[in-house]
Structure 1
Amino acid sequence: MYKKMTGLMILLVLVGILIVNIIDQNKQNTTERISNEFDVSGDTSVQGGVIAPIESVGIEPGELAPDIELEAADGTQFKLSELRGKKVLLNFWATWCPPCKEEMPAMQQFYDAHKDEMEVIAVNFKEKDQKVRDFINDSVYTYTIPIDEDGVVSNEYGVYTVPTTYFIGTDGIIQQPRKVGPMTYEYMEEMLQTLN
């Protein structure tokens, strides 16, 4: 009887180990499959990227930034060409975008520190006017926020994912490659130093 009980205990332990190994292997396979679904590039430094058509490369450095004429969240009319002579950080964002919300406080901090040197413009990406106004009313953001409800400006700039940011010099020329993904305060500081 003792031998049967010992044998049964050993068998149960082995079955338990087998079940734990199978569950662990399934978790590992699921994790690998999920991570491959979201990061097919293999580049671990990419944030906020998507696979997009070739025409989505946007405006390249050296090109004149297309003019923008939109109503801002505060009800004023915004026109990008009126900012000639100033450096401009031109950001595209959305209220439903977690990386956008992550970078917005840093953008406000940057704007507060450098508003005499550089304008911060955050164009809302294809959302209903009132939704954007409600979001802004519940926030502390004081930089200009034009609303591109129909997506015309976003399409012209080749914006297929948010956040996307362009850096424009005093001459109205895009001077750095666009940044796709959230920015840090330090990154904005670095870009400010590269613009003329």
Structure 2
Amino acid sequence: MKRSFVRSPYLWAMLGVAAVVTAAWVGRENYQPVLPGSLAPDFVVTAMDGSLATVEQYRGKVVLLNVWATWCAPCLQEMPSMQRLYEAMEGTDFEILAVSIDVPVGQTDLGGMPGGDLEVFAADFALTFPIFRNATGDIQRVYQTTGVPESFVIDREGIIVKKIAGPTEWDAPENEELIRRLLGS
């Protein structure tokens, strides 16, 4: 018995591959890698007090954007150095935007990680810089992060100057010098 080509799994497989290739080809011009030298993409996050914030609101300041989570051991490792840097830069146009990808307490994210209590976390580490939540993971998609922590130093014009995947000592001389240079001090 002769089989219809329309019912052939090969036809559907070829059509599927063609659709993926076409979509990639059409979307290639819209893809903008988030690398040093590129404009920092805007996003909306929620502060611990419930207010909304965007990176655009901080234009004119030097910003350390840190994507992190309460369950991330390397994130915990770098938080004290971020606080020390924040204190060293007090009175300048420097700001830290620490954006947690934790879901709220009592929930579990798609990866099975429990929700984090940002207020307790901030108190435990005596953090005074702004902490935000982005439980939907939009920031990870927009900034094309591959894990946590991942950080971006953004200049006054909104250009990404430095990108770091993994923990770092933010109060190390080279990082503080970079921030001071961007501040013009």
TM-score relative to the length of structure 1: 0.64
Contact 1:64 1:172 survives alignment (8 Å): yes
Structure 2: gaps (5+ residues) = 1-31, 106-115
* Structure 1 vs Structure 2 CA RMSD: 1.9
Q: Any idea what the Cα deviations from partners look like across 1:12-60, whole Å, max 9, x if unmatched?
A: xxxxxxxxxxxxxxxxxxxxxxxxxxxxxxxxxxxxxxxxxxxxx9511
Structure with the bigger percentage of helix? 1
Shift of 1:190: 3.4
Corresponding residue number in structure 2 for 1:107: 82
Shift of 1:161: 1.1
1:182 aligns with 2:167: yes
Letter in 1 for 2:100: N
Moved >6 Å (runs of 4+): none
Structure 1 counterpart of 2:103, from 111, 115, 128: 128
Shift of 1:194: 4.7
User: What percentage of residue pairs aligned between the two structures are identical?
Assistant: 36
Shift of 1:117: 3.2
Letter in 2 for 1:144: P
In 2, Cα distance between equivalents of 1:80 and 1:179: 18
In 2, Cα distance between equivalents of 1:132 and 1:160: 23
Contact 2:79 2:125 survives alignment (8 Å): no
1:191 aligns with 2:178: yes
Report how many aligned residue pairs link the two structures: 138
Q: Which has the larger radius of gyration?
A: 1
TM-score relative to the length of structure 2: 0.68
Contact 1:58 1:159 survives alignment (8 Å): no
Q: Any idea what the Cα deviations from partners look like across 1:93-147, whole Å, max 9, x if unmatched?
A: 111111111110110111011132310111112x113323332343311111111
Contact 1:124 1:147 survives alignment (8 Å): yes
1:94 aligns with 2:69: yes
